[in-house]
């Protein structure tokens, strides 16, 4: 059994004038990542992979450092791209719903959900060639896009909405049908 832990990054400092990919972890996010590193000690990880985006990379580095591991950075785990900052929470949620449902109301210039899922799947292929158990530190939208394609989700948007930050789940890459060993918590 090849256990893969999927981790949503810890809480960032939201900086509307800065691209989200550059947002650092907040003080709370650093504490969250440190707490998650303590949880991850029981996973006996052999490898950690992270998105190249600051908030996920920092989360992964905190966990890797606590476990004495190197954090491998892979662009395939970067967030599903949206063109513009959406400051209104309701409008942001509506945009994410439209993207995840691959609807016609998805914001113009957003990365198509199938492209994001395929990009993430390519990253998983790289991970699959390495040591296990392994962890991937990434982002809510792209994790949801991949999970919707890989295991099928009844409601991708609801999965995204309820995925904690930080949060983690575990899947078995060798299972006949990919599914959660442990759902997001």
**Once rounded to an integer, what is the mean pLDDT over residues 33-62?**
98
Q: What is the pLDDT of residues 82-131, one digit of tens each?
A: 888 888 899 999 999 999 998 667 788 899 999 999 999 999 999 999 99
How confident is the prediction for the chain on average, in pLDDT?
A: 94
What is the pLDDT at residue 102? Answer: 80
CATH class of this structure's domain 3-182: alpha beta
End-to-end alpha-carbon separation of the chain, Å? 21
Mean pLDDT of 34-59: 98
* Geometric angle at alpha carbon 59, from 23 and 28, rounded to 5°: 70
Among residues of the chain, what percentage have pLDDT more than 90? 79
- 130: nearest Cα among 45, 67, 68: 45
What does the pLDDT read at residue 103? 66
Rg (CA), the chain: 15
Confidence grade of residue 40 (pLDDT, cut at 50, 70, 90): very high
Is the pTM higher than 0.85? The answer reads yes
Band of residue 181 on the pLDDT scale cut at 50, 70, 90: confident
* Helix axes of 89-100 and 140-150: crossing angle, nearest 10 degrees: 30
Q: What's the mean pLDDT in 50-70?
A: 98
- Strand ranges (E), the chain: 3-8, 47-50, 71-73, 134-138, 167-172, 180-182
- pLDDT, residue 17, reads 87
- Ordered by start, the domain boundaries in the chain are 3-182
């Amino acid at each position: 059994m090849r256990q893969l832990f999927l981790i949503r990054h810890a809480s960032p400092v939201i900086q509307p004038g800065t691209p989200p990919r550059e947002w650092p972890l907040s003080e709370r996010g650093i504490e969250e990542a440190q707490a998650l590193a303590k949880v991850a000690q029981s996973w006996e990880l052999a490898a950690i992979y992270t998105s190249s985006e600051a908030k996920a990379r920092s989360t992964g580095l905190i966990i890797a450092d606590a476990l004495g591991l190197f954090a491998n950075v892979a662009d395939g785990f970067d967030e599903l791209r949206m063109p513009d900052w959406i400051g209104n929470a309701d409008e942001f949620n509506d945009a994410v719903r439209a993207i995840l449902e691959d609807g016609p109301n998805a914001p113009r210039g957003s990365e198509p959900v199938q492209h994001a899922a395929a990009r993430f799947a390519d990253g998983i292929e790289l991970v699959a060639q390495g040591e296990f158990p392994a962890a991937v530190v990434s982002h809510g939208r792209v994790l949801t896009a991949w999970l919707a394609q890989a295991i099928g989700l009844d409601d991708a948007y609801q999965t995204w909405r309820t995925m904690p930050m930080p949060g983690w789940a575990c899947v078995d890459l060798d299972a006949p049908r990919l599914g959660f060993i442990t759902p997001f918590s």
